[in-house]
Structure 1
Amino acid sequence: MSDLTELAGRYIAVWNEPDQHQRAAAISELFTADATYTDPLADVRGHEGIGAVIAGAREQFQGFDFRLLGEVDAHHHIARFQWELVPAGGGENLVIGFDVAVSDGAGKIRAVHGFLDKVPAGA
């Protein structure tokens, strides 16, 4: 389970990476080439698609950080965890999500299924 906890931490770190080139490199290291990412707002495949979703979120929520919320629950090659989007300087979360990440068993993510539990009006 600790490997999947570490994987979830790396996943959140990718969402927080401000440098586009470093983020692209981190996505390549973290996700399989044909990985999928699906949530209520996106359904993409591959590094470029995942990178575009993350870049869009970072642009929309400038000045905010993604953080794990609570513990990572995992079994086999599957991890589920809650996350929050909070102001970088601290304060109440603006968004709360719940993701299920499926690992390839060799340290990479092959699928993420995301859910949004708290979303600001108009987002």
Structure 2
Amino acid sequence: MNPFDADVPWIDRRPGKRLRIEFTESAEAQMSEGFRWLSSLSMIDADEAEKWADEIAGAVEEEAELQGTLPFDRPIDPNSPIDRPAYRVLRKKGKRRSAGWYISFELLDADDDGIVDTLRVLGVKHSSQEGSR
């Protein structure tokens, strides 16, 4: 079964199974850009920018673990940089009303066995960039 033919990709939900994580070059570049941008703000020091990078990486790890245990319920990314389904999760920093960062990802069956096994991060963008690909 091709996981992209269905609304809900097939994911192996056996205990202990976790999706492999990959970052595209574009996602890595966006992470670096976000880090530099945060570091340049006068109200945020380098430690805070590092904490942000750790939080984004932690959110990706959490997403990979959750997709192996919970029913799939992520919205499709309307600004997907690819021509097939991509999903996103919003990670907010701090206050309830604060702006957040969208993590865009796709789910892949990298070994062609019919079971999704990889979460590939496509992009990490500040919510103010919502309309851009």
Name the TM tier (shorter chain): 0.3 to 0.5
State the TM-score, normalized to the length of structure 1. 0.38
* Structure with more contact order per residue of length (Cα contacts < 8 Å, sep ≥ 6): 2
State the TM-score, normalized to the length of structure 2. 0.36
Larger Rg: 2
